Structure 1
Amino acid sequence: MAKRRAASISSDDDPSTPEGSQVSKRARMEGDGEVNATTSKTRRAPKDKGKGKARRQEETEDNENEDEDEDEDLDQASPDEDEEKKFEEEHEEEIREKLMNKGKTQGGVAEMGIIESLEMHQFMCHKYLTFTFGPQINFIIGHNGSGKSAVLSALTVALGGKATSTGRGSGLKSFIREGQHAAEVTVVLKNLGDEAYRPKEYGKSIVITRKFTKEGSSSYKIKSKDGRVISTKREELSAICDHMNIQVDNPMNILTQDAARQFLSASQPADKYKFFLRGTQLSQLSEEYQTCLENIGQTQKVMKRKSESIPELEEQLEEAKARLEEAKKAREQRHKIDELKKEMAWAHVAAKEAELKKQCEEVAKLKHRIPKVQQDVDKHDAAFIQATREVEAFEMDLTELGDRENLDAEKNALQAHMKENRTKISKYKADEKQMSENLSRIRTTIADLEERIQKEEARANTQGKRDETARRLEEAHIAYGEAERRLESITAEKTQKQAEQQEVHRKGNKMNEDRETLRQRMNDCQGQLARCAERERNKLAPFGNQMDQVLQDIQRTQWFGNKPVGPLGMYVNVKDPQQWAALFRVTLGSLMSAFAITDPRDRATLHNLLGRYRNNPQIIISEVDLFDYSRGEPPPEIPTMLRALDVSEEYVLRILVNNAHIENTVIAPTRRELDNILSQIGRGTGFSADLYRVQRFEGGGSSSPLNQLRRDDARHQLFTGDSPDAARIRWQGELDNANRQVEALNRDLQQERQKYDALGREIKSLSDQEVRTNQELRSLKTARDALQEEANEAMPVEIQAFKDAIAEANDERESIISQFKAIERSRAELDTIQRSLQTELDSKKAKIRDFEGRREDITKRAQDVAQRRINAQHDKAHYLKKLEEEKRKVADAEAVADNLAEEFKNWTVKAEQYCGSERFPNPRPVEEVQRMLEGVQAALREREKRQGASVDDLSNEVNKRQAALELSKKEYKNMVVLVKALKKSLRSRLAKWHEFRRYIALRCKVYFQYHLSNRGYYGKVLFDHPRGTLTLKVQTDDQTLTQNNREKDPRSLSGGEKSFSTICLLLSLWESIGCPIRCLDEFDVFMDAVNRRISMKMMIDTANASDCKQYVLITPQDMTNVQFGNTVRVHRMSDPERGQGVLSF
């Protein structure tokens, strides 16, 4: 059998293609049925248009009859039973002779398409395994569980076969070794000889590596002999297998033990027949022929439709020629259309003249409105001038009032002088106190000296008593010094502990303050969460009670003007809520709940409607006037309320401009920045994000804080900038964060309290020690002083020295008394000065309060007038703009009038050019002429419609019909020739297909009988091609004596007999396929020793006799009793490792 294209390699994810029974016959019969059915349909009888047409119809029928005859020939391509028997008689002996001669020759080694080596990494149970295969016969042996079958699975996976065809897993992931992430299989194919695949790129071998992972990814690397990656595409692998005739998914090339047992014992004859067709690739060839037959049938359907359309095309050509003749008669009707068109031209001129007259009247009407608008401009200009004069007067009053700085400077100077005097008085009092203490000390000294003089005069003492007293005094000095040092140490330690306790107390106070701040923050967050919950239930909650119901009532109510618009906050958003939301809540919050109406008569109705739901918002009356407010805006770099807002409704935007002046109200982050901006502009009003209102006018300015909102104010829900759910999450997060911080502070406070209490206990202990030490020190001092006094009494003293000391003390006392009187006089003088300064200070404060009151009054009045001036200025700008708009409207109307005049002139000229210099007298209205023109044109179109088209169109149609007819005839003839050639080719191919099938089936029968005879068995293969069945009959050597030569069904054979029969059938079928690789897994598992020995020898002999074929045979049995030649290579697998787990399939 000639080598042909192998079946395409399917992926592991592709479903297997089902095989039908008796594929070739089905293809032939079903295809022929389609063809016959197509040609046997009843044709539509064309109209009799003459002899020529009848002749053409007869020619078409003759062609179709010829097709039917060819279909019958095609149907006879299938041979009958007699031919089959004749074929077997002619060729059976020839096949047997070839079989006998083949056993006497040695087969050659294949130059390409066989496996040189196989390598597995983390594949199934193998961490790493490699094989180097022999070119002809390879046996893989080993105990059960050693991973022999993994070799065939790896070979199938590496060559692109489906995982399911291995019988070892449902997908590639199941082949990955337990606990590993990926597996890799590499197969090396021989690539020598004249028919090598791209030898320049790949060299003598082609290395194919496939890697796959647990995630399901799979990749190929197809490399040359030297390791260069030539391709990574699956198509390249398919081309290699196609070129080398490797059929990896062909069940006859790689057959597992389970598949063989199922095939032989459990499958039905029809299944065996399908297996035979699929293994020999006859089914694939039959399916391709079936496709060819179906395409021929479709082509014949097209041919029939084409043949039926030719008479119709001829008829349409005749009809087109008839319509062309009739269309030439319609030209006369166009003359009347030309006359009506001339009248239409002058009718348009008359209409344009009337339009020009109407536009001139509109221009006059618009010009009449300009004086009224000018009066409004003058009125508001006068109001602006009057307000400016009043502002200037107030500014002059402020100038005359003067500046407070002088008063403040005088007040500060008085306060500084008084402070200095108070300092001096305090010093004088301290000096007086010190002097009083010194006088007391001197008096005590004098009294003591006088008493000692008396004692000295009366005292008499001995030397021994003085020595004893001196010793005791020295001991008292030492004890006192030690007590003093101990007291100093205790005092220092106590001072340190007190400082530490004070620091702990300070930290505790700070933590308490932080905790209170956080608790307040938690309360705020809870309040915000409550508001968020309210917003989730009702997004209109910030604007009032039951606002959704209010809006529904507004929709149902009849109004004099437009329906009220509101709440205005529905249309307003802040671009940067983080920075400006708090400011806009205070300044614009009340306006956000307001409603706007266009008719004053609707105010009472809307007020009652809102009051019904306990709402009392502001109601604004404003017409829908989308005026231009850009002239009132400051330069673009100046931030304003308008530039920080996003207003979705233009009408609402104008309301905010009129009522809140958002277009020129400046905003800034801080009061200082706002003041700088207004100073730069020179005038204006603004608000700062830190909630201050600042005004700047000529000659001065003012600033005042804004009233902050109460915590329960609903305006807190405005301008939040996020959804209620997002806000709730944000506030809940802040609440949780604050709660965690409070808990942490509580823990820290507890630790600080414990530290504070411990320090307190230490300080108390030190204080007790200090008290005891002080008591001890006083006792020691008393004892020491008594001993010192006793020593002094025992010591002889000059009485004159005591008298001199008394005299010095008296002199010092007189000096102190003199100084005390001088200080007392100075303090009295300062007291008098202080009273005078206090009176002057009170006067200055009264003047400052009076100044502030007058300035505040003037400033307030000036602000009111300034606001009135700003309003007047805005009104003036508004009416100036309106005046410009009116003038623009007049200019536009005049331009329209000029255009109409120009058009009237041009249309008149064009009408004269179209109709001639003579004007059409009294043309009818355009609509009337248009109706008449359309009527005549419709009549002409109806005539042309009956004709099919205009004269030119009909002439073109005749030419097209003629060309279409000729093209259809040409295509039909070409298709007839093509179908005949296709049928002839297919008939030849079907004959060869049947010949292939007969020859392959006959070879299978002969070889099956031959192989069975090696064991002394007899059997045959029964092919029933019409029914699509394959039946095996086997008679063993013991049946000849016991069962009267009755043949056995394979399912009744023993395990060894069944396995031997399997080998015989496979060897027979292998002779019919062209793939260079044959693989068989555990073929002898159920064989006894005799069957196994015979089967092994038979397989080795067959493999040695096969030319350019490679065999891979797997068995768990020992091969010691089998003799091998140099063509056989045995690969022994190691014993399985225990404790590896179970394969995941």
Structure 2
Amino acid sequence: MFAIQSLEKKSKELKKQIVWAEIKEKEEAISNEEENYRKESNNLNIRVDKVNEIKRKLEPFNKKIAENREKIKELTEKYNPINAKKKDIEYNLKDIQKKFINYKSENQKMKITMNQLLNQKTEFEEKINDEKKKIENINSNERGKQEIEIEKLNNTINNLKQKTSEINDDLTNNNKEISQVTMEQEKYEEEFESLNNEIDLINSSINKLKSQKKNRVRAFHDNYPEILKTIDEYDRAGKWKEGKPIGPFGMYITIKNNYKRWSKIIETVLKNFVSSMGVFSHSDRKLMQSILTKYKCSAPVYVCKKTRIDFSVGEPEEKYLTVLRAIECSSYVVVQQLVVNARIEQILLIENRRDADIVMSTGPNNGFPVNVTACYTIEGFQVGSKGGYATISVNLYNGTPKLLTDVDEVIKENQAKINNLVVIQRQKNEDIQNCKNSKSNLLSQKQNMKHQLENIQREINYSQSRIMQIQEEMEEKTPEDISAIEKKLSSVNNQIDILEKQNSELQEQINMIKTEEEKSKNEINEIDHLVNMYKEKIETLKNEISNDYARNMRSLNDSLKYYSSEMESQYQSNQVLEKKIEEMKLSLEEDRELALKYCERVEVEKSKSELENDLRAIQQQQQIHKNFDLQTVNLTMEEYKKLKNDYKKANIEIKLKESVQIRITRWHNFRTFISMRAKNIFSELLSRRGYKGNIEFNHSDRQLILKVQIEDQALVNASGNESYEKDPKSLSGGEKSFSTICLLLSLWETMGCPIRGLDEFDVFMDAVNRRISMKMLIESARDTAQNQYIMITPQDMSNIQEFGLDSIKIIRMEDPERRNTNV
């Protein structure tokens, strides 16, 4: 009886513990979920910080693009009024030309009318002479005096008109001289301003040279001292995986004393490399690129090899001077990069163009000499190149010298240039002053000539008035018929005078029209010069947007898109988890209230399942005590053993399921990482051609979807156009083949295939896609030296020599023998 009571008491205690064990398990579950929520919140904060950091990095580029667009807008606003002014001037010029044609036509009509009037005058004079002979005895003495006076007055008028014509000619020449002097003055003023600008540029170059003298590394970029300091800090922190980077390359290069006269040519050849940096792994390259971007430096970064390469077999004969032989370099790594990328060991330096032409035709089949790719002369000509034998003028490097350690001589040369320019500037100033004085004298002469013309015209008017007075007196004593003829003659003379005056005025208007036409043409030329200057500035700003900033923004935009997507996904996950915790807390409060109604809280040391097992055991003991017999005991023991075995099997099965679930989760994570890596590699390979694309993996449907954009997303955002996304089936042959190569390389890299092969992969590619694809395949093969690449193609592989043949073996099959079908 006592045993049954004891079991009953234990059973009640276990029931109480089971109730609070369930409460405890829920409390622990909520605590675990809250801890998980805190971790996920931290992950969300990390992604938010990363997104904000990328946005901060994008701000300078977006700001610069906005500034460039604002500048383009300002230039366009300046350009439009100028262009409108040009149209107005052109419209006025057409009107002037029409007037000129009309004046010419009127001048021609005046000449015809003048000839007719002169003929009439001759006819009337002959008639008057005939009549005069008949009445020569009438008032002969008095009339003779009047005719003599008229003749003198006519001679005076003719002389004055001749003098007027001469003065008009002088006035026309004076206007031309004034226009010429004005043009010369404007020309000298432009040259004076150009000299000022050139002096400012040289002074700026001198200041840069002085700064370079204090710290030579600033010659390659103003922020290079801070960049090198950051590199040293990273080196002390051990962030460089393959060793400290090397650079800038120009710090290790100097021009030998005997060849300093070649400095401009050498700096022209190496201008894209002297500011470059070298690293020894692709991961270090990304870190180095981030440092350069931080300090707004666009210098290229090359992945270098630490092993020495013997390139002496690729050099020309010793008698030729090459760029490599004209410089000294303290780093073999830098030399190897210049040899691989700039071919400095195969570029000849020859004094004059004639010798260069001779040397560049002494090779096999009158071609280049062995191991020679190009040749430069000291005058700035490139004789021959990969494209053929043409001789072209080179745009020489005119900036501050970067490869000369002693810049004092260059500073002296620049100072001497400034002194010479100042002397020339003074002479130009004197020329401008002379032009002003000449112009003033010519204007004074013009004013004097106008006064002379006014005085002469007054004398002509007086003489004509006197002739008319005498003729009136003669008419009173002259027979009626002679008087009528003389009236007609006088009318003709008046018409001739009026016509001559009109002709003189018309000629002056023609001269003015010519001057206006010349002035309008000069204004149009000046406006064309300004328009071209604005267009060049606008094109430069657009190139900055489409090239420099787009290249830097591409990776940041990709990162921003990735982390924004991760942040949104994390935020949604946190919302679901927070809602789940709230629901669990509400359920816990309800269960706790029910538990308190059942009993006060008791301490629980076992789990609910263990307590339930203990309770079942006690209940079984109670049943045994109630119905105790031997057969029941035996059956109970057998059932106990069976249940115990079932319990062990169930525990093993639960552990196996948990292990399988963990493995499946890990496999899902591994599959996700592989997909992300393939996406990133595919996007990076497409960007080398200026494309943009993505791979979408649908693991549930076992599908792989390609998306390719044929335009650079950063360039499109900068220019304001929408991107154009193509379906892979609608791509051209070259685009499809290039996209396929990028897909295969990304999948190979993620799957780790030891042997990789392609057959006729470049059949449908153009030259640009073929070159980029071949370069990607070779770089991938070099980066994964443990793998073997086999490429089969019907194309000529001679162009891959520019990528180096150190790790490439080309096997060319013999051409197939075909039967002669004509037999």
Instruction: Please give the TM-score of this superposition, normalised by the length of structure 1.
Output: 0.28
Greater helix content: 2
Instruction: Please give the TM-score of this superposition, normalised by the length of structure 2.
Output: 0.38
Query: Greater relative contact order (Cα 8 A, min sep 6): structure 1 or 2?
Result: 1
